[in-house]
Structure 1
């Protein structure tokens, strides 16, 4: 059902990435009529937002996808509170990244630089402000760059978090490396291999640990970070990576999987750190993806399993917010883009506020009349 909705809606713009399954069908080209530049929703927190990018190289291991590279190169985009309210807004993508991304998604009928014109809210290279701020690692779905989670990242930064979004090189259609080279999706040639998902999340866990090791010395603004309060949030393969990173690295205190099949195996003795599943109706108990049922039993600490009525796989990304610039509309019954963004921001921020800021969140205790789309599983969450 998810794949049919994505194709019918034209949301293959951002939805044709490997999602809960590592081998999604390749959609036909999508014809679209542009409507003008997209504008991301304004962050809901009180703080202005700054952003900058780092390029890090892990010389301790070869790249798992580029056999000619004896080191792993990563791009890390940081979003954070700042005092600066004016200045040049950061680009969403470069024109070349937009071109490769849209070609990779087989989108036609719009200029290939369309997504580079998307209007963001963060000031480029603004000075960070604050002290002892929690850190949130952000990881995107397979084939998607981390820029497709910009709306969520900006919102968290406005609420007082430092967000480190990782572009896992060669796993998306376009990542610009430090010397201007573009890393395209070499991993896309392997996504039918046995054990593909397990291998990807193991690599992502290593990426996360490396970034946590290096961030204090590589970012001039790292003094604002409280390294005792770290969480990870990911969508699709990034959500699976959140689970894998937590199993591997005890520095990650809490995690959220947004609509991703999990591949990392939790120890049989259980896993006590806070974790939340936030997903679409395909992730109801007994649904198409059995991995959440399996792992739910092994989560022995604070946990939540929330399904959003009307959501589809990319509802937790910027995908629906950008559909209009590609001239496409979601089919009837799919959650409105603005509402999907609001719900995602609300529940992610509530989880992080409770577990990194020790602020109890009533919204996480059960159903809310203000958010009737959110169903708490497994007790109040039947198949749909």
Structure 2
């Protein structure tokens, strides 16, 4: 059982009581303390900003629920926490949605802090002017699930991104008959909100990263290893759910028939950036996964010595033996590094690896920023040059349907819903 604590240890107290091994790991780029400046806590009321997400186009209404999961076999790699916590959002085909409220894109407290935490990962984002808490999804909270078994797709976000920034694609897949389990990787994601207090962290936990983790091989390896372990753990909990159990230690009621809609025998995984690395490598290590999509994630470790090349992950060194899709953009600045590991994967694979490219696009085009950034530009809260850096010049009327078509088309071919 997870024990609730009284007041949590403040971040500055933790700095004074750092574990020696952790102190070595975090030296130079991972920060436990939040920035010293006061947090604005949300949008500037003088410049109200409301954002909308694109609606799913599938035939099924979408239900959603949030689960708090605790892995007692692991400690947290980034903070002095005795267990590893993972927050997930489940999107699923609903049986009925009458009277159900629409879920927010980000939980309320996390949304209030995202205005300051988000730009740590994406400097292009405005720190004021956006009411992140006001963005509603198209998913209905705790709606009863359909009773037909559906394939399960796990989603791992990019480094620094909260799981909520993959909402639009998750809803599209759920509306087309999949169950999507979107994961946060705490300590990595910009903000993660928890339902309980726990010694060693705040109720809303910020990212510890203050630069690209690939600039430090030890940090980068810890990040990906932790994400892979998170993904396997979440898949274990999906199996518990499908058997009628409730793995959430808070005991909150689950949506009616949620266990009936999950098919743990048909599982795929997709991810963006570090999440793409996670998706591909988790499939290599876990044979419960039948297909994977890597959206612009490296498949090699950072080099240990500057100027050298890094060691390939096993998925690239040995190749894929199950369906794998690689998607990149023409605006990614590190194509040469990406190409080395992707080419090795394709050359070594026993199963055909598919590859697609998005034109006039940049790295974050696979996320909800594809819809959000153009709206921020239109409202004067983001410069066009920053939009181009974040998602490219591609219009959302092209980018969003393209990503949906690529991802859904791949899973419909390899993990059909019927």
| Both proteins in one fold, TM over 0.5 | yes
Contact 1:140 1:238 (8 Å CA) reproduced? yes
Deviates more, 1:179-188 or 1:205-214: 179-188
2:398 to 336, 339, 353: 339
Is 1:72 the counterpart of 2:84 in the alignment?
yes
Kindly provide the CA deviation profile for residues 79-109 of structure 1, in whole angstroms up to 9, marking residues without a partner as x: 0000224421001113432343221205446
Is 1:50 the counterpart of 2:67 in the alignment?
no
- Residues paired across the two proteins, number: 328
Kindly provide the CA deviation profile for residues 297-332 of structure 1, in whole angstroms up to 9, marking residues without a partner as x: 122203211011111101110013112146334349
Q: Secondary structure at the match of 1:260?
A: coil
Tell me the equivalent position of 2:351: 301
Segments of 4+ in structure 1 off by > 6 A? 283-286
Is 1:110 the counterpart of 2:132 in the alignment?
no
Q: CA 1:313–1:139 in structure 2 vs 1: closer, same or farther (change >3 Å)? A: same
Tell me the equivalent position of 1:37: 50
Q: CA 1:166–1:285 in structure 2 vs 1: closer, same or farther (change >3 Å)? A: closer
Tell me the equivalent position of 1:218: 246
1:209 to 223, 232, 245: 232
Contact 2:316 2:341 (8 Å CA) reproduced? no
Tell me the equivalent position of 1:321: 371
1:132 shift after superposition = 1.5
Aligned counterparts, 1:248-263, within 5 A: 248-263=285-300
Deviates more, 1:332-341 or 1:53-62: 332-341
Aligned counterparts, 1:71-90, within 5 A: 71-86=83-98, 87-90=100-103
Q: CA 1:354–1:34 in structure 2 vs 1: closer, same or farther (change >3 Å)? A: farther
1:159 to 164, 176, 180: 176
Tell me the equivalent position of 1:134: 151
Q: Give the Cα separation in 2 of the matches to 1:55 and 1:94.
A: 13
Q: Secondary structure at the match of 1:130?
A: coil
Q: Which has the higher contact order (CA 8 A, sep 6+)?
A: 1
Q: CA 1:34–1:255 in structure 2 vs 1: closer, same or farther (change >3 Å)? A: farther
Q: Give the Cα separation in 1 of the matches to 2:169 and 2:417.
A: 21
1:187 shift after superposition = 4.4
Q: CA 1:197–1:109 in structure 2 vs 1: closer, same or farther (change >3 Å)? A: closer
- Structure 1 gaps, min length 5: 1-22, 24-31, 360-384
Q: Give the Cα separation in 2 of the matches to 1:92 and 1:269.
A: 38
Contact 1:65 1:187 (8 Å CA) reproduced? no
Aligned counterparts, 1:130-209, within 5 A: 130-179=147-196, 181-188=203-210, 191=213, 192-209=215-232
Tell me the equivalent position of 1:13: none
Q: Give the Cα separation in 2 of the matches to 1:279 and 1:103.
A: 29
Q: Give the Cα separation in 1 of the matches to 2:331 and 2:314.
A: 21
Contact 2:316 2:342 (8 Å CA) reproduced? no
1:55 shift after superposition = 0.2
Kindly provide the CA deviation profile for residues 37-76 of structure 1, in whole angstroms up to 9, marking residues without a partner as x: 222111111000000000000000111111x211100101
TM-score after normalising by structure 2: 0.72
Tell me the equivalent position of 2:266: 229
Q: Which has the larger radius of gyration?
A: 2
Q: Give the Cα separation in 1 of the matches to 2:334 and 2:160.
A: 27
Q: Give the Cα separation in 1 of the matches to 2:417 and 2:107.
A: 38
Contact 1:49 1:79 (8 Å CA) reproduced? yes
Q: Give the Cα separation in 1 of the matches to 2:417 and 2:371.
A: 31
TM-score after normalising by structure 1: 0.78
Q: Give the Cα separation in 2 of the matches to 1:268 and 1:309.
A: 28
Task: Let me know the Cα RMSD of the aligned residues.
Answer: 2.7
Q: Give the Cα separation in 1 of the matches to 2:296 and 2:234.
A: 24
